[in-house]
């Protein structure tokens, strides 16, 4: 029986501080993601109005931004479903710190991609 206990206890167990830090990182990344999503939507709305007024407007940029926003929506929905355990054939289980860390990395990556697009839009708008 002691050998079974050793096998069961040999797995890594995250400390409460580690879990708390991961949750805080995830919350910050999620908040930044939502803010950027709002900014991206504003930029898309401006470009759509411009495209209606000026048919020669940069529609490729508008399509790229709309595609990025759709990608963001898809990623967010996937993360939410992943965290809720609502996948077919999967019993509901709480998210684990490693899962939250990978979600945080994905959100950070999307945030950088959005920032790059928003910066390029700002540079074009200023010119």
66-107 tens-digit pLDDT: 998 898 888 888 877 776 765 555 554 555 667 778 888 888
pTM of the complete model: 0.66
The CATH fold of domain 17-126 = Substrate Binding Domain Of Dnak; Chain:A; Domain 2 (1.20.1270)
DSSP helix, strand, coil percent of the chain (3-state; round to 5)? 80, 0, 20
What pLDDT is stored for residue 127 in this prediction? Answer: 46
pLDDT in tens, 31-50: 888 899 899 999 899 888 88
Give 70-97 as a DSSP string.
Answer: HHHHHHHHHHHHHHHT-STT-------H
Is residue 114 over pLDDT 60? yes
State the average pLDDT for the chain.
77
Interatomic CA distance for residues 99 and 45, integer angstroms = 34
């Amino acid at each position: 029986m002691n050998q079974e206990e050793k096998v069961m206890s040999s797995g890594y167990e995250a400390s409460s501080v580690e879990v708390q830090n991961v949750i805080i990182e995830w919350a910050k990344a999620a908040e930044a993601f939502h803010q950027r999503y709002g900014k991206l939507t504003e930029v898309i709305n401006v470009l759509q109005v411009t495209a209606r007024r000026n048919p020669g407007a940069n529609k490729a940029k508008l399509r790229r931004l709309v595609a990025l926003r759709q990608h963001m929506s898809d990623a967010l929905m996937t993360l939410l479903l992943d965290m809720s355990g609502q996948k077919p054939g999967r019993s509901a289980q709480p998210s684990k710190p490693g899962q939250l860390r990978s979600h945080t990395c994905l959100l950070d990556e999307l945030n950088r991609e959005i920032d790059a697009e928003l910066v390029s839009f700002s540079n074009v708008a200023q010119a």
